[in-house]
Structures are given as structure tokens and as C-alpha cells.
DNA sequence: AGCCCGGAGTTTGTATCGCAAACTAGTTGA
DNA sequence: TCAACTAGTTTGCGATACAAACTCCGGGCT
């Protein structure tokens, strides 16, 4: 039987488009500050802020706030867990996609 | 500049895991009844029902209710639009994924 | 006939979520 | 001094997804 439970097991924390963008950016740069993420993802600052908070709560990113040139600076990086989860997520999507491509007949 | 607006343009109607599963199943079988989808996706009947309604409202699937052997039978198939949109969706995800894989340094 | 079981869906209630807009805190320029 | 800007955070609300309850119908059983 064709089983698509892969899709149902998709990680909702990561799957959300805004966070998928954030995680994908982070997986390519390893560390980025708030302003960079803001531009790279096109998210508003408000949404970026709250999505980052969620990702941090989920343990997928590590956030470090410092002051650079007297200005606040928020630095974000994937945690080890985050790195694993985003990779898993893409793998799962890939599997799901392939299921869709193998043409099968109903029952 | 690394631009991830692809992610933000993701089709939320399709992106939702439950519906992604439904659409993916449908794209491989071309037509399926409610019971088949229920088993194939692992969704509860209630959720399957409401997701199908949303997909129908969005014009992505066509639903036909008949009686077979005196029992209700709900048959679902992708519309032309639905076929296009699910393909687009996978393409967009693919692009996003590739962006993540091209290692780049922060500004 | 009367009654309960199970299949096939649908409706409802609630809790969560994502977004935009408003807000805060500190800095620089005129 | 005060207006404008940078770098974020908080809030209000409309939309959403899920589970649980409900409906409707067709057999068996007694």
C-alpha cells in the first residue's frame, strides 16, 4: 500500500515557509545576523523576530545578542540539532516527492 | 544577494502537509475515492474531509459524489489547475533547496 | 418489527499560528 | 532639543488544523 505518512510526519516547526527560508539560509552560511536574515528572507522584522524565537525555543538555532558599534546585534546560527533537522526535512520531502512520481493505480 | 522569496511565495494551500500528501497521492493515481485516500494518507476522515473541501474550493481537485452499491462514494481527481500547481510547488521547493546547498558567506 | 453495529462522511469547538501594525530602546544628525 | 533612523519586540486578530462529536444509511440479529 502506498503510504504517505512521511508527509504527516513533516516537522511543522521547520515546514512553515518563513522558517524553512530562515533555516535554509542558515544552513548555507552557518551564521548570520538579524539584518542579513531580514534581507535574505524578505520577512518583515516583526515576523523574523517571532520566527527566530520559535526556532530558538525548539532548540534549532542559537541566538546571541551583543552590541556592535554601540548598536544591538543579533547573531543566529543553527545548532547541531537544527542542522540535523533541516537535512532530515529535505530528505523527507524528497521521499514524498518521489512517491508522487511513481505512477500507480488505485487499489 | 541571496534571495529566498521563493519560500515566501510557497502555495500555502498545497504546502500544508496533509494536503501535500493528498495532492501527491492524487498526482500519482489520477483518481481515488475517499476510502483510498483515507488509508493512503493516514489522515482521519474528518481532516481528510475538510482538506478535500479546501482543495475543492481552491479549484485544485474535482469531487464527485455518487452511490456505489447503495453506499456513498466520493471520487476525487486533480483538476488541470491542480496538476499544474502541485508540479510548480515541487519545482519551487527544489529551487529553495538548491539555494541552501550553494554555500555562501555572509555579506 | 425493532434494534444495534459499522461504514462513509460532515460539522463543530478549541487551541494554535502567522501576519501586519504598533511599540520600545538606543543613536546620530541638524 | 528634537526629529529621524536602526534594530528589534510585542500585540491583536483573523485564519487554520486537528480531534471529537455527530449524522445518515444499510445490513445482520432476535
Tell me how far the alpha carbon of residue B87 is from its chain's centroid.
10
Evaluate if residue A105 carries a pLDDT over 50: no
What pLDDT, on a 0 to 100 scale, did the predictor assign at position B106?
44
Evaluate if residue B102 carries a pLDDT over 70: no
Whether the CB-CB separation of A51 and A19 falls below 8 Å is answered with yes
Task: Give pTM, 2 decimals.
Answer: 0.89
Dihedral of CA atoms B36, B38, B42, B43 in degrees, nearest 10, equals: 160
pLDDT digits (tens, 9 = 90+) for B13-69: 999 999 999 999 999 998 999 999 999 999 999 999 999 999 999 999 999 999 888
pLDDT digits (tens, 9 = 90+) for A21-54: 999 999 999 899 999 999 999 999 999 999 999 9
Local confidence band at A106 (pLDDT 50, 70, 90 cut-offs): very low
Between the alpha carbon of residue A106 and those of residues A42, A56, B32, B53, B75, the distances in Å are 42, 43, 6, 21, 11
Q: Give mean pLDDT, residues A61-85.
A: 94
Half-sphere exposure of B57 (CA within 13 A, CB side): 8
Q: Which residues of A touch B (CB under 8 A)?
A: 1-8, 10, 12, 15, 17-18, 20-21, 24-25, 27-29, 31-33, 36, 39-43, 86, 90, 93, 96-97, 99-107
pLDDT digits (tens, 9 = 90+) for A69-78: 888 999 999 9
What pLDDT, on a 0 to 100 scale, did the predictor assign at position A100?
74
Q: Rounded to 5 degrees, what are φ and ψ at A3?
A: -120, 125
Whether the CB-CB separation of A32 and A39 falls below 8 Å is answered with no
The residue whose grid cell reads 546585534 is A73
Residues with CB under 7 A from strand C: A 12, 16-19, 43-47, 50-51, 54, 69-71; B 8, 33-35, 45-46, 48-50, 52-53, 65, 71-74
What pLDDT, on a 0 to 100 scale, did the predictor assign at position A4?
62
Asked whether the CA dihedral A18, A22, A23, A25 is positive or negative, the reply is positive
Give strand C nucleotides closer than 7 A to any protein Cβ: 7-12, 17-22, 26-28
Indicate the average pLDDT of chain A: 89
d(CA B9, C1' C20) / Å: 17
- The candidate with the shortest Cα–Cα distance to A78, out of A35, A19, A6, is A19
Amino acid at each position: 500500500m502506498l503510504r504517505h505518512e512521511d508527509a504527516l510526519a513533516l516537522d511543522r516547526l521547520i515546514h512553515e515557509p518563513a522558517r524553512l527560508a530562515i533555516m535554509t539560509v542558515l544552513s548555507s552560511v552557518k551564521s548570520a545576523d538579524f539584518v542579513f536574515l531580514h534581507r535574505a528572507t524578505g520577512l518583515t522584522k516583526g515576523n523574523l523576530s517571532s520566527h527566530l524565537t520559535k526556532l530558538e525555543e525548539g532548540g534549532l538555532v542559537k541566538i546571541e545578542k551583543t552590541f556592535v558599534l554601540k548598536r544591538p546585534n543579533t547573531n543566529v546560527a543553527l545548532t547541531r540539532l537544527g542542522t540535523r533537522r533541516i537535512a532530515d526535512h529535505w530528505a523527507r520531502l524528497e521521499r514524498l516527492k518521489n512517491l508522487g512520481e511513481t505512477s500507480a493505480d488505485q487499489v
